[in-house]
Amino acid sequence: MQLRSTLVLASQSPRRRHLLELLDLSFVVIPSHVEEIVPEGLEPAGIVKELARQKAAPVSQQYSDALTLAADTIVVLDGDILGKPADAAEARSLLRRLSGQTHTVFTGLALAHPATDRLSMSHEATKVTFGRLSDEEIEAYVATGSPLDKAGAYGIQDFGAVFVARIDGDFYNVMGLPIHRFYQLLRSDFADLLQT
């Protein structure tokens, strides 16, 4: 699968880059450095779509002939959004909260093609259940540094995978890029740019 226009990934996430590479798509990485403003009064699905739109906007305006992809991922437990931990202490706290619980990972996608005045957004939600974590397991994982740059303080693609007892939904969504949802959005709203 290739596109007739340049695909721009407006993210510095190595995980999203890796997932696009799995699709054998040609793309360039132009990270969006926009200050994220979480809107009031939106459900999690609305929040991630709006944040993805915010990320896509400045990059797509610079590369108006390209198709810009932006994404945003949050972890939600008991109605609370668990973002990236500020430090090791917060990472420990988040992992203790997730221990033995089921949380939901939401990822919002935004695809922007200013040349044809198109913007499409969608989201995916995946339920993830953690086993019970010991303090020793939490300490060892936090010591790797991996939890510090991830929503919810874990990565399903690294050692954090051993904490996951069950997953209900799109695995790749938990990594930060729901591939099926992305493909469906391409096919439904940007079919003219697909070169198959």
In the structure, what pLDDT confidence band is assigned to residue 143 with cuts at 50, 70 and 90? very high
Hey, is 127 helix, strand or coil? strand
What does the DSSP 8-state code read for residue 149?
G
CA-nearest of 155, 150, 141 to 92 is 141
pLDDT in tens, 5-27: 999 999 989 999 999 999 988 99
C-alpha R_g of the chain: 17
What average pLDDT score do residues 153-162 get? 93
CA 64 to chain centre: 23
pLDDT in tens, 33-81: 888 888 789 999 999 999 999 999 999 999 999 999 999 999 999 999 9
pLDDT in tens, 86-108: 999 999 999 999 999 999 999 99
The tokens for 194 are: 């697909």
- Residue 70 contacts residue 110 (beta carbons within 8 Å): yes
- Residue 71 contacts residue 39 (beta carbons within 8 Å): no
In the structure, what pLDDT confidence band is assigned to residue 196 with cuts at 50, 70 and 90? low
In the structure, what pLDDT confidence band is assigned to residue 154 with cuts at 50, 70 and 90? very high
Domain ranges of the chain: 2-195
d(CA 62, CA 120): 18
CA-nearest of 63, 58, 188, 59 to 121 is 188
CATH of domain 2-195: 3.90.950.10
- Residue 125 contacts residue 99 (beta carbons within 8 Å): no
What average pLDDT score do residues 161-177 get? 96
Q: Which residues are catalytic?
A: 72
- Residue 44 contacts residue 83 (beta carbons within 8 Å): no
**Structure-token match 């303090």, residue found:** 135
Residue 133: how many CB atoms within 10 A of its CB?
Answer: 17
Mean pLDDT of the chain: 94
